[in-house]
Structures are given as structure tokens and as C-alpha cells.
């Protein structure tokens, strides 16, 4: 009997140890490299002034005199904000605090798109944060669409090096005539160089959303949203939107006619990554990237030219 009890205790300790190891692997904690804080360059904007409700009605709450917005997903609806203006190039950033707990199938997105104007030929630059359950981590997916390639995005996925549910972290997109850069807490995780054949070129709106992505984000609905845990709420704060506001009456856009004078991300700190930023991006991609379209030979029989 004593032997069985000792064996049971050993097995319990072994399970606890394995769970600890798995939890450690799921929740990676790294000391990130030091990089320039580009988010300190631009002012915060009032959400009330630059956004309107896109969908979700009362699931969208703006507080703090326009400094913060809370978006919710429940059984009835997700919710979202859309920018009042469209932008051609710029610096777009939000501090985001994600829903805690089991949030498998929940998708939080901060992105640019013009699908409302060009439904079959749209551009898009995405930061998508994909919810998890006990078997998975929160991940960030970055994506680019251009020139009507709505079925062939350029996805890359990364683990995060912190718990994104305990406090706000900054997620940033730089989009200019030279490259598109995705940053997390000012660390570049991906740079997409301007290509003459594949690059977002038309003015876009900025969106902040939360929605049910069960079918899309969980292997065809394998781990759907569990609405017993609803509502799922995400907080957006410290919004920065400094770009060339597109004038729809100008053709071509006034932004494209004189980009150097109107584009706020044409300065030397935005047109090229510094050696420090390149080193930080290499760190993020080595340690945290687990999917890149450039390595997906089953999807691309012929790799896109930028992968070569």
C-alpha cells in the first residue's frame, strides 16, 4: 500500500513538473533587445476624434476623454472601430491589452485596409492577435495584401515574449514608399520591402476590431470560441495615427504627388532600419517566428519573388 502511495505521489509530481515545463514553453519570457522608441516620436490621438464605430453598437465603449476604447465580443456580435479618414502612408500604433483566460478563436486585429472601396482589388496591412486555449499561446500574425491578391497573403506568425493580457503592449505599423515594418513594443519583427509588383499602394482606412475567428484561426473550427467565457474584452489605448490623409477629390492623391512634404515617415529614421533595429529583428525572428509563407512550399509551388 505504501509503495502504491509513493508511486502515486511520484506520478503526481511528474505531471506537475511536465505541466510546468509546458507552461514555460507556452509562455516564453525573454529580455528583449534595446531599440529606439519610435512610439515616442508621435503624439497620441483622441479615439473620439479619429475613429467612428464600425460595428458592435454598445460593445464599443470609449472612455478617458477619448484616450481608451474597450471592444467586446459576445454571442451576439463582435465590435470594431474604423478611422474617419483614409491614409496614404504613415505611422499607426496602438497599445493593446488582450482578453485573459481561454480565448481560443477570438481574433483581435489592428490593421489598414481599403476593401470597402476596392472589394476585389484591395490592399491590406494586418496585425492580427490570435486567441488561445490551454494548449496554445497567444500569437501575432502579420500579413500583407496588394494588387488584388486577396487569396494569396504574405503571412508570418510569431510567439510573443510576454503575457499580452496583463498590461498594454504597443503594436505598430510603419508604411511608406520604402517598406512596411511591423513592430511590437518598438522591436521590428518583420520588414516587407517595397516591390514594384506587390506592395500596398492605395489609401487605406485604419481598423481596430475583435471578432469570432473560430473557423479561420483554429484549424477549421477545432477550438471554437467558448462563449461561457464571454464577453471577451480588449482595450486599445495610446493610439498614434500620423499619416498623409488622402483627399478623395484629388487624382492622383496629393500624398503621392508630393510625398516628401506630406509623409511623416519619410525621415531617415523611418526609411531604413538601423543596425540596432536589424539586430533586434533578427533576434525576434530567430527566437519567436514559427511560420513564414516564404517557407511554405506546399502552398507556393513557385515562391513569391521577395522570398528569393
pLDDT, residue 286, reads 96
Please give the grid coordinates belonging to residue 4: 502504491
Q: Which of 124, 156, 191, 240 is catalytic?
A: 124
pLDDT, residue 204, reads 95
Q: Which of 6, 128, 191, 269 is catalytic?
A: 128
128 catalytically annotated: yes
pLDDT, residue 27, reads 53
pLDDT, residue 153, reads 82
Segments making up each domain of the chain, as ranges:
32-307
Q: How far apart are CA 61 and CA 68, in angstroms?
A: 8
Report whether 35 contacts 174 (CB < 8 A). no
pLDDT, residue 233, reads 97
pLDDT, residue 306, reads 86
Q: What is the CATH number of domain 32-307?
A: 2.60.120.200
Q: What is the CA radius of gyration of the chain?
A: 21
pLDDT, residue 136, reads 61
Of 190, 192, 183, the closest CA to residue 289 belongs to 190
pLDDT, residue 267, reads 83
pLDDT, residue 43, reads 95
Segment holding 26, helix H or strand E = helix 2-26
266 catalytically annotated: no
Report whether 229 contacts 101 (CB < 8 A). yes
Please give the grid coordinates belonging to residue 53: 464605430
Please give the grid coordinates belonging to residue 149: 491578391
Q: Is the peptide bond before 252 cis (omega within 30 degrees of 0)?
A: yes
| Intervals of the chain under pLDDT 50 | 3, 7-26, 252, 258
Amino acid at each position: 500500500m505504501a509503495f502504491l502511495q509513493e508511486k502515486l505521489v511520484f506520478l503526481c509530481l511528474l505531471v506537475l513538473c511536465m505541466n510546468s515545463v509546458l507552461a514555460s514553453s507556452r509562455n516564453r519570457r525573454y529580455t528583449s533587445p534595446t531599440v529606439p522608441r519610435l512610439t515616442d516620436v508621435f503624439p497620441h490621438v483622441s479615439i473620439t476624434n479619429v475613429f467612428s464605430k464600425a460595428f458592435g453598437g454598445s460593445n464599443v465603449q470609449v472612455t478617458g476623454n477619448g484616450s481608451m476604447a474597450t471592444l467586446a465580443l459576445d454571442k451576439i456580435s463582435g465590435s470594431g472601430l474604423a478611422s474617419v479618414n483614409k491614409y496614404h502612408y504613415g505611422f499607426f500604433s496602438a497599445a493593446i491589452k488582450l482578453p485573459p483566460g481561454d480565448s481560443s478563436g477570438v481574433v483581435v486585429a489592428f490593421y489598414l485596409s481599403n476593401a470597402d472601396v476596392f472589394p476585389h482589388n484591395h490592399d491590406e496591412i494586418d496585425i492580427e492577435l490570435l486567441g488561445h486555449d490551454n494548449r496554445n499561446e497567444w500569437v501575432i500574425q502579420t500579413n500583407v495584401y496588394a494588387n488584388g491578391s486577396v487569396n494569396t497573403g504574405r503571412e508570418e506568425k510569431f510567439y510573443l515574449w510576454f503575457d499580452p493580457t496583463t498590461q498594454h503592449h504597443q503594436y505598430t505599423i510603419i508604411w511608406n514608399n520604402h517598406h512596411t515594418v511591423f513592430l511590437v513594443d518598438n522591436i521590428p519583427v518583420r520588414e516587407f520591402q517595397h516591390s514594384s509588383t506587390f506592395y500596398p499602394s492605395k489609401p487605406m482606412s485604419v481598423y481596430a476590431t475583435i471578432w469570432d475567428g473560430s473557423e479561420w484561426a483554429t484549424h477549421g473550427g477545432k477550438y471554437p470560441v467558448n462563449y461561457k467565457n464571454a464577453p471577451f474584452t480588449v482595450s486599445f489605448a495610446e493610439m498614434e495615427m500620423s499619416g498623409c490623409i488622402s483627399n478623395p477629390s484629388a487624382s492622383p492623391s496629393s500624398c503621392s504627388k508630393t510625398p516628401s512634404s506630406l509623409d511623416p515617415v519619410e525621415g531617415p529614421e523611418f526609411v531604413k532600419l538601423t543596425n540596432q533595429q536589424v539586430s533586434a529583428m533578427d533576434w525576434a525572428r530567430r527566437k519567436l517566428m514559427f511560420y513564414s509563407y516564404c517557407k511554405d512550399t506546399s502552398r507556393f509551388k513557385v515562391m513569391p519573388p521577395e522570398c528569393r
